Structure 1
Amino acid sequence: MTEINKLKIFNDPIYGFITIPNALIYDLIQHPYFQRLRRISQMGLSYLVYPGANHTRFHHALGCMHIMQKAVETLRFKGVTISTDEENALYIAILLHDIGHGPFSHAMEKSIVEDVHHEAISLLFMNQLNVEFEGKLSLAIQVFKEDYPRKFMLQLISSQLDMDRMDYLKRDSFYSGVAEGNVNSERLIQMMNVVDDVLVIEEKGIYSVEKFLMSRRLMYWQVYLHKTSLVAEIILTKILKRAKILTQNGIVLPCSEPLLFFMKNKIIFETFNSKNLELFSQLDDFDIISALKSWQNHDDYILSTLSKMIINRDLLKIKVSNEKISKDELQLLKERFSLENNITIPETNYFIFKGKIKTQAYSKEAEPIRILRKDKSIEDIVDVSDQLNLKSLSRLVTKYYICFPKQLV
């Protein structure tokens, strides 16, 4: 009987060759839970704006694991003790950090499953895998849950300068074609060190950190919060909510069995059992697109009209402003649309609505990015940097939007 070679390599357009470090990692990648990430888009509906943005969570997870390998190599070279078990825990935790994402990444969190964050579902998947792999993920889960005493390990997975952000900025920049987001992850990793089990960046890496934070700001406003991507994701959320209401009122909608289950049942974190997890693991982007293609011909005006918007990329008009949108403006649009399309005022909420978006490139309240000075003192990047823009990047920026059908322009 021939033994399968599990030390494979992937050819990645960002980093070149990515190696699988051991057989356990190979088996996790091969698991159906992880393979599902090939069918979950990394940037949701952003491909409606940036046609090249069709990469998946699978790409991203492998990229994160690759740069985690580089980080471990760098820290060991600088004398940081990392055991083989700790190294493996880092690879597993970063590989599986996004495994709980639903179709189109974030839309499911606000519609099909009731306010269950993808990180909570990731942890449920990790616990289930830990049972299947006879406890080999226990340390990774400890690190992921912040239960492990070595703080730098969590910082490598989840912080303001982690492997996740380093990969998604570089990867999303590459696939979207937005060059402003391209960060020098190699340089940032080379500048990493650990002092008292806390992650620091050596002083000569200050400019690389400044560029990283500036790139993050530009990517948020130019790509992640692009108004067309924003309105498309909101429309998708409203479609799923409408489908759920219709289903729970006894109207049969054509869709896959897993999607039908989540539309029929109110699933919150407390009721997210292993059976629900198995059904969730069968959901991906294809379930949603297939459903939308069927629903665009449905008798329900709201469901069919919104579904056509996504399928044909004929979206609602969206206007973004620095000023709050008045209720009067919104009400006038609703009354007019209600009259023209013979629907009730409450039903116009699917087509006419307002909201706000906010982002902060760097938070002073969160875990700071620490700079290790040449005199061995440690300071927050904002206090060390002579870049005035960096102080403004720590300010929360809020913008307001209004969405409405184009015929009301």
Structure 2
Amino acid sequence: MAYRDEKLHEEKVFKDPVHRYVHVRDRVIWDLIGTPEFQRLRRIKQLGTTYLTFHGAEHSRFNHSLGVYEIVRRIIENFKDRPNWNNGERLLCLCAALLHDLGHGPFSHSFEKVFKLDHEHFTQVILLGDTHVHEVLKKVEPGFPKKVADVINKTYSNKLVVSLISSQIDADRMDYLQRDAYFTGVSYGHFDMERILRVMRPMEDQVVIKESGMHAVEDYIMSRYQMYWQVYFHPVTRSAEVILSKILHRAKELYEDGYEFRLVPAHFLSFFAGKPTLKEYLELDEAVTLFYFQSWMMEEDPILSDLCDRFVNRRLFKYIEFNPNSQMNEWMELYKLFSKAGLNPDYYLVVDSSSDLPYDFYRPGEEEERLPIHLLQPNQELKELSRLSDIVESISGKKRTDHKLYVPLDKLEEMSSRSKTKKRIMEILYG
């Protein structure tokens, strides 16, 4: 029997708090789960610094990747005998779902910004490079790793396959909304996924939803909207991300200035130099990163030491509403005042902005073209979701942006009460 068709002697199951069970019958999937590159995802949290806000958010990208695989497995099961569906793409869909987050680094997005990296690029490199994952995929057929990479990169020729893991209603979002809601303990991210899976239909270039499932989709869209503002953009989580990125910036700056660390940050050297190899990238996970943060608490550099202590012991910056577009003069004055007070404003005065577009209709020619969600009418015509749903229409295409200014209030309070600098800083911040 060809490797691509090989089944396990007995089905393997993972007990899962969100989907109850994750089922594995394919030898290829089981072998991929066992690779070091996939097992590494156990050491990367799904929600980065969110555990400092919602203490239950300790789940990993490993959990999430299995969840996305399971949702795609169920979708394909429902598609099996439907028109427009080619069951020959089944294994490709399952592999792409399982491996879509393979390239994430520690604390994902903050880490990427500082070192100008892209997890999607590293996902491609892992799939196509000298890795155990590549060896498994290559056994299916020589060109199979490239096909999986193309699906994840959204460049695969069959857009229906791509839409299963990357669209405005896909397995990736359906898993992380429910999983993140479960582990953070909030009620916002729940929606009737079973209903959505039942009303999904394969079309030539995307998955569409039967009109009778519109209300379940509305619930999903609103869940996503609420999760972004109540969980993903939570200001306390953003405070932790600000400190995390400032730690990495400071360590990099010290390295470039020739500073002698008490403990040589061996795992970071190639990142500081801007040229990490694949091996070095895979060796850096969150456990290793936190080890360095704990050791940097003992460094002689007061900024690095203080920032690491804040992160490790959760002494976060406080925040106020602050719009840099309309308050630029105030920000410039604060910058000078912080310098005067001996607080380096590059590290202790930080504006952070978050934006989200919960749902969008098709806008040709835009930088990121979003394929809209289409509803399948009884007469087989397609209608874009916001044309039939008042709820979705009300938030459609509306980008919301939120600005915060983060400062170490404890350090400001330690300043002498007679200090004119302190008085002016507090006036600007709190009126």
Q: Give the TM-score taking structure 1 as reference length.
A: 0.90
Assess, with a 3 A threshold, how the Cα gap between structure 1 residues 406 and 231 changes in structure 2: closer, same or farther. same
| Conservation of the 8 A alpha-carbon contact between 1:156 and 1:162 | yes
Percent identity reads 34
The question of 1:89 aligning with 2:92 is answered: yes
Cα RMSD for the two superposed structures:
2.0
Match of 1:350 in 2: 347
Match of 1:361 in 2: 358
Partner Cα distance (2:10, 2:355) in 1: 44
Q: What do residues 319-340 of structure 1 show as CA deviations (whole Å, max 9, x unaligned)?
A: 2357845123223333333333
Partner Cα distance (2:105, 2:10) in 1: 28
Match of 2:160 in 1: 152
Partner Cα distance (2:112, 2:409) in 1: 28
Q: 376-385 vs 165-174, which deviates more? A: 376-385
Say which of 177, 192, 196 aligns to 1:184.
Answer: 192
Match of 1:108 in 2: 111
Residue segments in structure 2 that go unaligned for 5+ positions in a row: 1-7, 364-369, 413-425, 427-431
Partner Cα distance (1:163, 1:200) in 2: 13
Aligned residues: 390
Partner Cα distance (1:322, 1:328) in 2: 11
The alpha carbon displacement at 1:117 in A equals 1.9
The alpha carbon displacement at 1:255 in A equals 5.8
Match of 1:121 in 2: 122
Partner Cα distance (1:122, 1:214) in 2: 30
Match of 2:421 in 1: none
| Conservation of the 8 A alpha-carbon contact between 1:210 and 1:390 | no
The alpha carbon displacement at 1:82 in A equals 2.4
The question of 1:212 aligning with 2:209 is answered: no
Partner Cα distance (1:16, 1:71) in 2: 16
Q: How does 1:70-81 map to 2 (within 5 A)?
A: 70-81=74-85
The question of 1:260 aligning with 2:269 is answered: yes
Q: What do residues 311-359 of structure 1 show as CA deviations (whole Å, max 9, x unaligned)?
A: 1111111123578451232233333333333x5xxx3211102232211
Assess, with a 3 A threshold, how the Cα gap between structure 1 residues 386 and 301 changes in structure 2: closer, same or farther. same
Match of 1:65 in 2: 69
Match of 1:138 in 2: 146
Q: How does 1:6-405 map to 2 (within 5 A)?
A: 7-84=11-88, 86-111=89-114, 113-114=115-116, 116-128=117-129, 129=131, 131-133=134-136, 134=138, 135=142, 136-253=144-261, 254=263, 257-263=266-272, 265-267=273-275, 276-320=277-321, 324=325, 326-341=327-342, 347-364=344-361, 365=363, 366-387=370-391, 390-405=393-408
| Conservation of the 8 A alpha-carbon contact between 2:357 and 2:397 | yes
Partner Cα distance (2:324, 2:267) in 1: 42
Partner AA of 2:400 in structure 1: V
Assess, with a 3 A threshold, how the Cα gap between structure 1 residues 401 and 324 changes in structure 2: closer, same or farther. farther
The alpha carbon displacement at 1:78 in A equals 3.4
Q: What do residues 153-193 of structure 1 show as CA deviations (whole Å, max 9, x unaligned)?
A: 10001111110000000000000011111122221111110
Partner-residue secondary structure (3-state), 1:251? coil
| Conservation of the 8 A alpha-carbon contact between 1:368 and 1:380 | yes
| Conservation of the 8 A alpha-carbon contact between 2:239 and 2:317 | yes
Partner AA of 1:377 in structure 2: E
Partner AA of 1:360 in structure 2: L
| Conservation of the 8 A alpha-carbon contact between 1:255 and 1:290 | no
Partner AA of 2:109 in structure 1: H
